[in-house]
């Protein structure tokens, strides 16, 4: 396992003063042997299909949905989330999408549904824990974050409408969990096993690199061209009981679910962060190309 340090502007000096940063950097620079025989060179060699690079001759409309644009009490975490959301949106534009970024908390349920009404595809990004009321859970669990109930409700309804209209959806981290909850699934509220996030630094400063095993024959395994990949994660919750029509297609070393697909709809969720700054080269592009292929198929059917 590797710890990939993701420093937010202005934060390095504070951790250097305490010695925490230098200690983590020491652990990183020692290096760790590849897991499942994946070399550093192989990390960048994904099964990229050039034919899937462009969405269509006329740019398809992609909506990238985040939780909120307002985290006045958590500026470091907001900067961390913002950087990855902007990277995903930028990469999508580079591959030919007409991208619109929307905030679920700012728009609410009806506002988000209206703003995303013309979307050809949707990406639901990472962020805070989903309020347990949406999956019959209870508050007061270990590691509980602040909740944005309006954003939760809006994103859940957006995914449900996408399922009804066969609009392709990609969920990342929290977005992966939103998909599961929207379709009737539940979450394991706190992962006790190590290896899913760094516990001695705030989440905005570090991601954990770990292996994921993909289901042979799954859409995601075919896109990556392999059954074992390395990913970057920073989460303490995972999908538990799966929602209607969903199947697990990726697992961490401890058996926790890391990727899901819908059996008949163009819906995919990944628990990790392909948009992380230190994520394996090309990993986000593979998932965007898969989303583009699903979008083209749906547009051709309509």
> Any idea which residues carry the catalytic annotation?
173, 273, 275
Do residues 77 and 203 touch, judged by C-beta distance below 8 A? yes
CB proximity list for 34: less than 8 A, separation 6 or greater: 40
Q: How far apart are CA 267 and CA 159, in angstroms?
A: 9
H-helix or E-strand spanning residue 257: strand 257-262
Local structure of 278: helix, strand or coil:
coil
Instruction: Specify the residue for token string 């999908």.
Output: 239
**Exposure string over 99-115, b if 16+ CB within 10 A, otherwise e:** bebbbbbbbbbeebeeb
Structure-block tokens of residue 97: 């999408």
Cα angle 181, 162, 259; round to 5:
50
Residue 131 DSSP label = P
Q: How far apart are CA 153 and CA 101, in angstroms?
A: 18
């Amino acid at each position: 396992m590797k710890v990939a340090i993701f420093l937010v502007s202005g934060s390095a000096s504070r951790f250097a003063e305490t010695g925490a940063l230098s200690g983590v950097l020491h652990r990183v620079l020692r290096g760790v042997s590849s897991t499942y025989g994946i070399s550093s060179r192989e990390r960048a060699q994904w099964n990229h299909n050039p034919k899937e690079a462009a969405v269509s001759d006329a740019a398809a409309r992609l909506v990238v949905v985040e939780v909120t644009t307002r985290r006045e009490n958590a500026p470091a975490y907001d900067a961390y989330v913002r950087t990855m959301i902007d990277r995903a949106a930028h990469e999508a534009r580079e591959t030919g999408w007409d991208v619109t970024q929307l905030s679920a908390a700012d728009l609410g349920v009806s506002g988000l549904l209206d703003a995303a009404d013309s979307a050809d595809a949707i990406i639901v990004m990472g962020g805070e824990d989903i309020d347990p009321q949406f999956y019959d859970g209870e508050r007061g669990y270990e590691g509980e974050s602040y909740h944005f109930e309006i954003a939760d409700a809006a994103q859940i309804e957006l995914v449900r409408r996408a399922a009804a209209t066969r609009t392709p959806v990609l969920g990342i981290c929290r977005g992966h969990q939103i998909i599961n909850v929207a379709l009737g699934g539940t979450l394991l509220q706190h992962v006790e096993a190590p290896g899913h996030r760094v516990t001695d630094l705030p989440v905005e400063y570090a991601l954990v690199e770990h292996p994921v095993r993909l289901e042979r024959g799954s859409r995601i395994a075919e896109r990556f061209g392999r059954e074992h990949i390395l990913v970057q994660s920073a989460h303490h919750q995972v999908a538990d009981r799966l929602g209607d029509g969903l199947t697990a297609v990726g697992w961490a070393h401890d058996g926790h679910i890391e990727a899901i697909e819908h059996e008949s709809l163009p819906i995919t969720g990944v628990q990790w962060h392909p948009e992380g700054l230190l994520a394996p080269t090309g990993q986000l592009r593979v998932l965007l190309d898969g989303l583009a292929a699903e979008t083209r198929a749906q547009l051709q059917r309509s």
